[in-house]
Amino acid sequence: MATKLKGMKCYLILFILYLTQPIYSQQDSTILTDHSDTIVLEKSRLPAFGLGHNTTSLGEAELKKYSSRNLAQVLQLESTFFVKNYGPSGISSLSGRGGGASHTAVLWEGFNIQSPMLGQADISLLPTIFVDYVDIQYGGESALFGNSSIGGALHLGTKSKFGKGWHFEGNVHGGSFEDFGQQLKLTYSNAWYSGSVRSFYHNAKNNYLFKDINAFGFPKPIKEQTNARLQQWGLLQEHNFKVKKHQFGLKAWYQDSKRQIPPPLLLSTSNDFQKDASLRLVAHWKTYFGAQIWKARSALFLESLHFQNDAVNSLSKILSSITEVENKWYLNDYHHFNFGLNYSFFKAVSGGYAQDPQQHRLSLFAAYKLASPQKKWSGTFSIREELVNGKFITPAASLGAVWKFYEQFQLNLHLSHNYRLPTFNDLYWNTLGNSNLKPEYSWNSELGISLPFLFKKYSIKTSLTGFCNLINDWILWSPNTAGLWRPSNVEQVWARGLEVNLQGKVKWKKWQLNTGLNYAFTKSTRTKGSEQSTIGKQLIYTPEHNANAQVQIQFHQTSLLYQHSLTSLRYVDNLNTEILPLFHVGHLRLSQTVNFKKAVASFYIQINNLFGEDYQVVSNRAMPWQQVELGIGLRL
C-alpha cells in the first residue's frame, strides 16, 4: 500500500511540475533513397524512439573547448549529473536523478562499457578527443538500452563523414603541477571510405598545495599532495566503407592508464598504485531495402585493473562480448517500427572469486512510433525482455509522447519501467557475495515543457523538467549478525526533483554573447530499508542542488569564457549527521583563433578554480587550488 501511495505522489508531483525537452541530437542520422526516390531520414534509437526525455546534446563545437579534458570535467560543467571526483589522479563516477553510480549507463557506439564486476564506468578514463558527440539522457530507458539505465545514460561515439578529404587537428597543453598533454586527430575520406586515427597523452605530477582542513589547531596547515602522478595514453582508429546500399566499418580503441593514489587527509603517506588497461573492438554493418534499415554490430572488450600497495596486489581481468542485430522499418510518415536481438557474454578473472564467474544475456527488444498527420504530436512504446543465465527477468517497458503547440513550444511525457542487474561482486565475491540477489527495478516518470523564443538577433530557450522515480530492491552492502558486510535487496528509494535549462544567444555585428544555465533539485530518500533510523534520509553523496552556468563573449576570433559550478552540501553517512559543505568553483578561459591560407591556429590560457576554493567532492580527498593551463592547437 505504501508503494502505491508513493507512486501516486510521483504522478501528482509530475503534473504540477513542468518538463524540458531540448532538441534531440541526430548524431546517427543518414539520408537514404530507394529506387522509388523515397527519402528516409534515419535517426539513432534515442531521438527516434526515446520521446519525452530531457536530453542535452554536445557536438564537436561544444566539445572543442574541452579538447585537453576528460569527460568527467566536461559533464561537471555541461550537465546536472553529479560527478563524484576523487581528485586529479583519482576515479570519477556519474550519478543522475538521485540514483547511484551504477544507475547511469555509459554507452560507446551503442555498447554499455560499465564494468560487469563493479557496475560502474570510470569516466575520468574517457578522453574528449576520442568522441565527436556526447548525448546526455536524463531518466531511465532500459527498454531501449538495457541494463543500468535507471538514472540516465551517456551516449558517446564518433561520426563517419564521406567526401571530406584530409583533415588534421593537433593540440598541446601544459600547466601547473607539471601537467603536460597532447591530442592528435588525422582523418581522410572520399566517396566510399572514411577513416581516422586519434591519440592522446597526458602526464601530471599533481603536486598541488592544499589546506588540511581536518588537522587540529588554527590556522590549518598547508601541505603538498604526494603520490598523485598520472600517466595516460590512448589510440583510437576507425575505418568505414560505403558500397552502394551498404556501410560497414571497424573501430579499435586501446588505452593505458597508470596512476598513483594519494593519501586521504587522515593519513600522511600512501604508496597505492592502480593501472587500468583496455582494448575495445567494434565491427558494424548497415544496409537498407526500400524503407527498411538493417544493422548488425559486434563488440569485444578486454579490460584489466591492477591495484597494488604494501598489503594488496590484486589483478582483475574482464572479457565482454556483445552482438546485436536491429531492424528499423519506416512504414510511412506516421508509423515507424524497431526490432532487435542482443546477445552478451561476460567473464571475469580475479582473486576475489572462488571461481571465475561468467554470464550469458539474451534480450529481445521492440519499439513503435506513431505520429499525427500534422506532426503536432507523436508517441512511442518500447519493450525489452532479457534472459540472464537461463532465467527471465521482469520486462522493461517505456511510453513516451511529445506535443508541439504554439510555434515551437513542446510538451513531453515519459513513463518507464527499468532494471539493473546485480554485479559479479554482488553475486560472487568470496564468502560475501549473495547469489540469491534479485535485480533492482524502478518506475520512472517525467513531465514538462520546452519554451524556445527565437528572434533575428537573439534567442532564448527555456525548459523545465519534473521527474519522479521509485527504485525497488536496491542492493545494499551492510553487516549481518556475524559482522560481515554482505549485499541484500533491502532498500527502496524515492527520488524526485526538478531540472531547469536556460540558453541564450545575442548577436550584434561581430559581437556574440552566449549564456547557459543548468540546475537540478534532487530529493532522494529511503522509504524502506534495513535500518529504520535511515528512513526519510537523503542518500549519501546526493546533493539536493547541483548547478552550472557559463557566459561567453566573442568578438570576431577572440573569445572569453567564464564557467561556474555549484554543488550543495552532501551527507556522508546514512543518518545525515555528517556533511561535506557546499562548494562553488569558477573557471576562466581566454582563446584566440588565427586563420592562415590553409590552416587555423588557436591559442588559449585557462585558469581552473579561479578563486582558489577549498573544497572536497569526496570526503578527505583534497582538490587543488588555482591551476593555470596554456595550450596551442592547429587545424589543417
At 402, list the grid cell: 511529445
Would the pLDDT of 56 be above 50? yes
pLDDT of residue 593: 95
| H or E element in which residue 528 lies | strand 511-528
Find where cell 525548459 sits.
463
Asked if 620 contacts 266 with a C-beta cutoff of 8 angstroms, the reply is: yes
Report percent pLDDT > 70 for the chain: 93
pLDDT of residue 322: 98
Find where cell 539505465 sits.
149
Asked if 74 contacts 63 with a C-beta cutoff of 8 angstroms, the reply is: yes
- 266-317 residue pLDDT tens: 888 899 999 999 999 999 999 998 889 999 999 999 999 999 998 899 999 9
- HSE, CB side, 13 Å, CA atoms: give it for residue 249: 21
Would the pLDDT of 31 be above 60? no
Q: How far apart are CA 101 and CA 541, in angstroms?
A: 10
Three-state secondary structure readout of 529-564: CCCHHHCCCECCCCCCEEEEEEEEEEECCEEEEEEE
Would the pLDDT of 338 be above 60? yes
pLDDT of residue 424: 96
Would the pLDDT of 418 be above 90? yes
Q: How buried is residue 614: exposed, middle or buried, by Cβ count under 10 Å (0-12/13-18/19+)?
A: middle
What confidence category does residue 42 fall into, taking pLDDT thresholds of 50, 70 and 90? low
| H or E element in which residue 584 lies | strand 583-595
Distances (CA, A) of 224 to 228, 262, 422, 623: 10, 11, 40, 11
The residue-averaged pLDDT of 15-28 equals: 36
- 579-609 residue pLDDT tens: 999 999 999 999 999 998 889 999 999 999 9
pLDDT of residue 41: 55
Q: In the 8-state DSSP scheme, what is residue 422?
A: P
- 351-403 residue pLDDT tens: 999 999 999 999 999 999 999 988 899 999 999 999 999 999 999 999 999 99
Mean residue pLDDT across the chain = 90
Q: What domains does the chain contain, in order, with CATH numbers?
A: 2-635 (2.40.170.20)
- 183-219 residue pLDDT tens: 999 999 999 999 999 999 999 999 999 988 888 888 8
pLDDT of residue 603: 96
* 122-126, 220-224, 426-430, 601-605: least confidently modelled range: 220-224
pLDDT of residue 35: 39
Asked if 338 contacts 293 with a C-beta cutoff of 8 angstroms, the reply is: no
Would the pLDDT of 86 be above 90? yes
The residue-averaged pLDDT of 404-429 equals: 94
* Residue ranges of E strands in 262-334: 272-289, 292-308, 313-330
- 504-520 residue pLDDT tens: 999 988 899 999 999 99
